[in-house]
Amino acid sequence: MTVTDSTTRTIDILRFWLRVLFFATIASPIIAGENENVLAAIESTSTEFHESDFGPLTVPLPVEDVDEEVGIQEDRITDDSSVESLQNSDSSSDTLSSTSASPAYCPDGYWIVSSRRSVQTIHHKNRPAWGLDAYYCLGNGQIVGSNLASLKAQLVPGIPVCVFSHGSFVTFESQARQAARAAAYFRSAANGQPLQLIFFTWPSDGPYSYIAPIDVTVRGKRAEFNGFHMATLISSIPESCPVTVIGHSHGSRVALAAMQLASGGPIQNHYFTGSVGNSRRLRVILAAGAMDHNWLNPGERYGVALNRVECLLNLRNQNDLALAWYPLSRPFAKRAIARSGITSRDMRTLGYNAQKIRQVDVTNRLGSDHQWPEYYSDPVVLGTILPYLISF
Residue 68's pLDDT is: 38
| Chain-centroid distance, C-alpha 326 | 16
Residue 330's pLDDT is: 83
Residue 206's pLDDT is: 80
Residue-wise pLDDT tens digits, 213-238? 888 999 999 999 999 999 999 999 99
The listed range with the strongest mean pLDDT (8-22, 23-37, 247-261) is 247-261
Report if pTM > 0.85.
no
Residue-wise pLDDT tens digits, 19-39? 555 555 544 444 444 444 444
Query: Hey, CA dihedral for 205, 195, 162, 98, is it positive or negative?
Result: negative
Residue 73's pLDDT is: 58
Q: pLDDT tier at 142 (50, 70, 90 boundaries)?
A: confident
Residue 9 has pLDDT above 90, yes or no: no
Helices 212-225 and 36-43: angle between axes, nearest 10 degrees = 80
**What contacts 65, CB < 8 A, 6 or more positions away?**
129, 131
| Residue 131 exposed, middle or buried by CB count within 10 Å (0-12, 13-18, 19+) | buried
Domains of the chain by range and CATH? 3-390 (3.40.50)
Residue 71's pLDDT is: 54
Range in 91-95, 155-159, 369-373 with the lowest mean pLDDT: 91-95
| Mean confidence (pLDDT) of the chain | 82
